[in-house]
């Protein structure tokens, strides 16, 4: 049985109001689990396997890369033998199978993708397309990156295709069987599309166009437009302070995406070509967020991308160097169809998974520490939580099985508010005798539960 491993890493701040304490956790889940279970806070579908050390502010970037890859090698070293020999895994159907784990995907934002693949900043982590040719929409695909090929290239030759070759440094992925780390760098709808292409780039060009049309009144016109959104279920009214919003999260981007086309349609009446391009971008982001795909939806996704690519010329005047060169997030859109075909819908590989895990895996753990030597304490806390959740899941599975004589016993252990017998004289009806007081229960040991 193949066990595709999905890893995720994302730096996060630990203290919200003050301090500079941060952590760089690594999460692990497996592709064999249903995605609802992977995201659930109650299951152990997503676990913390390590916290990377904080990178020193060293001018020697190669030393930082060396430290990162050595740390990753150590954290994942135990997998290396299991990848070859397999590991017995007890499955949900009661059978034990030999599982062969493989590194399949890594959830990370663009700077981390570059660090993990040793790709030079601004190059694509998946293909060798030159950043000067970005976004390369509608062009024949460039050569795919392969770790084996770079081992035979010199440092200069590798640099020409955007790959670092650092003496004494071998990518941690080269020690893992069948792992092409470049293919593990997947779609990330939150950072690439919503934050990158939509808000950071396209919206900036739209604002530049509105400034060209309305002059200094552009911000006011936009604020009025967002404030006049009629109340409707699912639509958010940003009020008159839309352009003053400083904290942007995934939900703000999605709320803005839901209303920006009807809002901009009257404002950009004289620019139908550009408006059409914005509509194509909306289609692309919404289609990319589908939880399942068919050949038809992938065809729509392709045509939305081509439509958006054709409209980009209209925004060229707002780019400093009159080209879209060096925007890797814009180029990443061309890899969406192939990634969905290989790894499924984008919610499998979105960094939203690791972002949400920060709150219930990392920040809760940090609150339980003395805030001084917090990393070992966080790991210990997390290990205990894992065991408790594991135990509770076993109890829940027994409690759900009404034919099992231990069901009520286990239900009361999970939920102390479950109905129990009231103290007092026994009732003649005999109903009370069916409820056993919780004090008389014994915690079942692992052998009896199995
Ligand atoms: Zn590429």
Token pair 């200094």 in the structure block, residue: 216
Selection from 338, 265, 255 nearest residue 301 by Cα: 338
Q: How remote is the CA of residue 326 from the centroid of ligand 1, in Å?
A: 12
What are the tens digits of pLDDT across the range 191-201?
Answer: 999 999 999 99
Q: How remote is the CA of residue 333 from the centroid of ligand 1, in Å?
A: 9
Helical residues (DSSP H) of 185-249, grouped into ranges? 203-214, 218-227
Task: Give the C-alpha separation, 224 to 245, whole Å.
Answer: 14
Helical residues (DSSP H) of 270-428, grouped into ranges? 272-288, 295-311, 328-332, 336-343, 352-357, 364-367, 374-400, 407-414
Q: How remote is the CA of residue 144 from the centroid of ligand 1, in Å?
A: 8
Q: Is the pLDDT reported for residue 239 higher than 80?
A: no
What DSSP string describes 64-103?
HHHHHHHHHHHHTHHHHHHHHH-EEEE-TTS-EEEEEEEE
Q: How remote is the CA of residue 141 from the centroid of ligand 1, in Å?
A: 8
Q: How remote is the CA of residue 128 from the centroid of ligand 1, in Å?
A: 6
Note down the domain range covering 427: 368-438
Q: How remote is the CA of residue 345 from the centroid of ligand 1, in Å?
A: 19
Q: How remote is the CA of residue 237 from the centroid of ligand 1, in Å?
A: 37
Whether residue 380 sits in one domain with residue 248:
no
User: Contact 271/314 with Cβ under 8 angstroms?
Assistant: yes
Mean pLDDT of 399-420: 74
Q: How remote is the CA of residue 335 from the centroid of ligand 1, in Å?
A: 7
**Secondary-structure percent of the chain, ordered helix, strand, coil, rounded to 5:** 55, 10, 35
Note whether residue 229 is domain-resident: yes
User: Contact 321/300 with Cβ under 8 angstroms?
Assistant: no
Paired strand residues for 98: 88
Range with lowest mean pLDDT among 226-240, 252-266, 275-289, 305-319: 226-240
What are the tens digits of pLDDT across the range 63-103?
Answer: 888 888 999 999 999 999 999 999 999 887 889 999 999 99
Whether residue 195 sits in one domain with residue 157:
no
pTM: 0.82
Contacts of 48 (CB under 8 A, 6+ apart): 25, 26, 27, 28, 357, 361, 362, 365, 379, 382
Instruction: Determine how many CB atoms are found less than 10 A away from the CB of residue 143.
Output: 10
Mean pLDDT of 361-383: 86
Whether residue 386 sits in one domain with residue 247:
no
Whether residue 240 sits in one domain with residue 119:
no
Contacts of 76 (CB under 8 A, 6+ apart): 103, 172, 175, 176
Note whether residue 444 is domain-resident: no
Q: Is the pLDDT reported for residue 61 higher than 90?
A: no
Percent of the chain at pLDDT exceeding 70: 90
- Greatest CA separation for the chain: 90
Note whether residue 325 is domain-resident: yes
Task: Give the C-alpha separation, 295 to 84, whole Å.
Answer: 36
Q: How remote is the CA of residue 268 from the centroid of ligand 1, in Å?
A: 32
Higher-confidence residue of 195 and 432: namely 195
Q: How remote is the CA of residue 143 from the centroid of ligand 1, in Å?
A: 9
Note whether residue 447 is domain-resident: no
Q: Which range, 269-283, 368-382, 399-413, is most confident?
A: 269-283
Q: How remote is the CA of residue 102 from the centroid of ligand 1, in Å?
A: 23
Whether residue 127 sits in one domain with residue 58:
yes
pLDDT computed for residue 437 by the predictor: 46
Higher-confidence residue of 92 and 5: namely 5
**To the nearest whole number, what is the mean pLDDT of the chain?**
85
Q: How remote is the CA of residue 72 from the centroid of ligand 1, in Å?
A: 25
Task: Give the helix/strand (H/E) hosting 50.
Answer: strand 47-52
Dihedral of the CA atoms 370, 372, 376, 377 (nearest 10)?
Answer: 0
pLDDT computed for residue 438 by the predictor: 46
Task: Give the C-alpha separation, 315 to 319, whole Å.
Answer: 7
Whether residue 168 sits in one domain with residue 21:
yes
Which structure tokens are listed for 236?
């958010």
Task: Give the C-alpha separation, 348 to 7, whole Å.
Answer: 11
Tell me if residue 409 falls in helix, strand or coil. Answer: helix
Mean pLDDT of 396-424: 72
Using CA atoms, how far residue 347 sits from 31, 288, 295, 344, in Å, is: 12, 9, 18, 8
User: Contact 324/163 with Cβ under 8 angstroms?
Assistant: no
Using the 8-state DSSP alphabet, how is residue 169 labeled? Answer: -
pLDDT band at 433 (very low <50, low <70, confident <90, very high): very low
Note whether residue 357 is domain-resident: no
Note whether residue 134 is domain-resident: yes
Contacts of 300 (CB under 8 A, 6+ apart): 283, 287
Note whether residue 360 is domain-resident: no
Mean pLDDT of 146-167: 88
Q: How remote is the CA of residue 137 from the centroid of ligand 1, in Å?
A: 10
Q: How remote is the CA of residue 197 from the centroid of ligand 1, in Å?
A: 15
Q: Which range, 58-67, 167-176, 273-282, 366-375, is most confident?
A: 273-282
Range with lowest mean pLDDT among 61-70, 83-92, 271-280, 393-402: 393-402
Please tell me whether the peptide bond between 75 and the residue prior to it is cis, using omega within 30 degrees of 0: no
User: Contact 25/31 with Cβ under 8 angstroms?
Assistant: no
Q: How remote is the CA of residue 120 from the centroid of ligand 1, in Å?
A: 13
Selection from 80, 283, 268 nearest residue 179 by Cα: 80
Q: How remote is the CA of residue 108 from the centroid of ligand 1, in Å?
A: 16
Mean pLDDT of 391-414: 80
What are the tens digits of pLDDT across the range 37-56?
Answer: 887 777 788 888 888 876 66
Q: What's CA 193's distance to the chain center, in Å? A: 13
Structural domains of the chain, count:
3
Q: How remote is the CA of residue 139 from the centroid of ligand 1, in Å?
A: 11
pLDDT band at 416 (very low <50, low <70, confident <90, very high): low
Whether residue 338 sits in one domain with residue 253:
yes
Token pair 């996704």 in the structure block, residue: 301
Q: How remote is the CA of residue 161 from the centroid of ligand 1, in Å?
A: 12
Whether residue 199 sits in one domain with residue 179:
no
Whether residue 325 sits in one domain with residue 260:
yes
Mean pLDDT of 152-171: 88
Whether residue 196 sits in one domain with residue 263:
yes
Q: Is the pLDDT reported for residue 11 higher than 90?
A: no
pLDDT band at 431 (very low <50, low <70, confident <90, very high): very low
CA angle 8, 13, 15 (to 5 degrees): 140
Q: How remote is the CA of residue 124 from the centroid of ligand 1, in Å?
A: 5
Q: Which range, 27-31, 281-285, 435-439, is most confident?
A: 281-285
Range with lowest mean pLDDT among 281-285, 341-345, 364-368: 364-368
Q: How remote is the CA of residue 325 from the centroid of ligand 1, in Å?
A: 13
Q: How remote is the CA of residue 416 from the centroid of ligand 1, in Å?
A: 54
Q: Which range, 2-6, 56-60, 362-366, is most confident?
A: 2-6
Q: Is the pLDDT reported for residue 445 higher than 80?
A: no
Q: How remote is the CA of residue 294 from the centroid of ligand 1, in Å?
A: 23
Which structure tokens are listed for 417?
């508010």
Whether residue 115 sits in one domain with residue 53:
yes
Which structure tokens are listed for 230?
């009629």
Q: How remote is the CA of residue 433 from the centroid of ligand 1, in Å?
A: 69
Whether residue 418 sits in one domain with residue 310:
no
Note whether residue 449 is domain-resident: no
pLDDT band at 234 (very low <50, low <70, confident <90, very high): confident
As a residue count, the chain comes to 450
Range with lowest mean pLDDT among 113-117, 204-208, 218-222, 240-244: 240-244
Higher-confidence residue of 54 and 113: namely 113
Mean pLDDT of 249-278: 90
């Amino acid at each position: 049985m193949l066990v595709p491993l999905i890893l995720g890493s994302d730096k996060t701040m630990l203290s919200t109001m003050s301090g500079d304490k941060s952590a760089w956790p690594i999460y692990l889940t497996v592709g064999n689990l249903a995605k609802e279970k992977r995201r659930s806070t109650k299951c152990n579908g997503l676990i913390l396997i390590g916290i990377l050390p904080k990178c020193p502010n060293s001018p020697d970037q190669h030393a930082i890369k060396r430290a990162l890859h050595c740390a990753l090698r150590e954290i994942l070293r135990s997998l290396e033998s299991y990848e070859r020999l397999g590991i017995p895994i007890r499955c949900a159907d009661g059978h034990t199978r030999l599982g062969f784990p493989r590194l399949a995907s890594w959830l990370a934002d663009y700077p981390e993708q570059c660090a993990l693949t040793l790709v030079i900043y601004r190059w694509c982590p998946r293909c060798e397309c030159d950043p000067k040719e970005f976004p390369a929409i509608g062009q024949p695909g460039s050569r795919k990156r392969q770790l084996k090929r770079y081992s035979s290239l010199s440092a200069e030759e590798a640099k020409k295709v955007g790959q670092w070759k650092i003496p004494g440094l071998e990518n941690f992925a080269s020690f893992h069987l069948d792992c092409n780390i470049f293919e593990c760098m997947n779609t990330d709808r939150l950072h690439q599309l919503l934050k990158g292409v939509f808000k950071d780039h396209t919206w900036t060009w739209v604002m530049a166009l509105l400034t060209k049309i309305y002059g200094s009144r552009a911000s006011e016109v936009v604020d009025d437009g967002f404030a006049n959104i009629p109340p409707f279920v699912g639509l958010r009214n940003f009020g008159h302070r839309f352009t003053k919003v400083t904290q942007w999260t995934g939900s703000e981007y999605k709320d803005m995406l839901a209303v920006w086309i009807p809002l901009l349609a009257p404002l950009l009446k004289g620019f139908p070509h550009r408006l059409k391009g914005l509509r194509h971008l909306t289609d692309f982001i919404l289609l990319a967020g589908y939880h399942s795909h068919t050949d038809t939806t992938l065809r729509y996704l392709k045509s939305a991308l081509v439509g958006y690519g054709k409209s980009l010329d209209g925004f060229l005047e707002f780019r400093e160097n009159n080209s879209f060169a060096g925007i890797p997030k814009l180029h990443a859109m061309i890899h969406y169809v192939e990634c969905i075909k290989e790894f499924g819908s984008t919610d499998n590989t979105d960094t939203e998974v690791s972002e949400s895990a920060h709150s219930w895996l990392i920040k809760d753990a940090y609150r339980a520490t003395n805030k001084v030597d917090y990393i070992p304490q966080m790991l210990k806390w997390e290990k205990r939580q894992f065991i408790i959740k594991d135990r509770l899941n076993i109890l829940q599975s027994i409690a759900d099985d009404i034919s099992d004589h231990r069901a009520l016993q286990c239900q009361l252990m999970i939920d102390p508010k479950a109905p129990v017998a009231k103290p007092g004289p026994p009732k003649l009806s005999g109903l009370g005798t069916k409820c056993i007081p919780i004090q008389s229960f014994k915690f079942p040991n692992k052998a009896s539960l199995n």
